[in-house]
Structure 1
Amino acid sequence: MDTKVVSRVFAGSLPVDNVQALASKNLKNIPSRYIRPEVEFVLINHGIADEVIEKMKINTQEFFKLPLEEKMAYAQLPNEIEGYGQTLVRSADQKLDWNDMIFLFPLSVPLRNMRFWPTNPPSFRETFDKYSTELHKVTIYLINRIAKNLGTDPEMLSSIFEDGAQAI
């Protein structure tokens, strides 16, 4: 039987200082390159417009107010996480720590299974799409910041995540 080995190169290595070696020296003064301010930047509302967050909150609350029978139209399939349900249920005998949830894959678009995307409230799908798109923008922004702080190419690192999956 012939087997083909597929090699995938995702990114190069990043230089990492040996902090353990520094710690073992019991220095009185730590070199400044090892010290970072506690907060370098603050991200309020993650850069997402207040109205997008508010619409998402309202749509989600309205979905969870629906009768159980209506929510069950979006129920998880056996051994699956996507959809409406309680993912922490492992057996019929366990004591429940109840947590209704809806778990969806909004990105990438080919991963979407619209069977699980509620149509009630009527604006849920549009709102969820907008919210997940805005979250993706925040993700790319943060990846770029991380890359800059690591001294690597931000475009190279963010390109790895550009078409990545997103689960909410």
Structure 2
Amino acid sequence: MASKASLEVSSLLVPSVVELSKELSTSIPSRYLRSDIEKAVVPNGDHVLEIPAIDMQKLLVNHGFDSTLLGNIKAEIDEFFKLPIEEKKKWWKSPGNAEGFGQAFVVSDNQKLDWGDLSV
């Protein structure tokens, strides 16, 4: 069995995406530009193909959890993300701790980042 120390995941602290979105800027920060991912080109005449929406609600069935409990958890999460950043910073990730608010698994100052904050 692996020791607790070998299971710990550390993540560098990065700015909140929500707070970045409030800044007046005409450019996207380079850490969020994903030139490392090729864009799919689907030829279809002179127009762009639309990507269909996936109804994620239908994926959340038969898991054994009461729907009221899941609704309450979702409501609590929604309320957390509505808090001012100063309040959310109380739950900010810290070195050596994988739990908390912010981006997960950021291991390099040059690493490309996702467009989303999360709480784990």
Q: Under TM normalisation by the shorter chain, which class is it? A: 0.3 to 0.5
Higher-Rg structure is: 1
- Larger relative helix fraction: 1
Q: TM-score, normalised by structure 1?
A: 0.32
**Structure with the greater relative contact order (CA < 8 A, sep ≥ 6): 1 or 2?**
2
TM-score by length of 2: 0.44
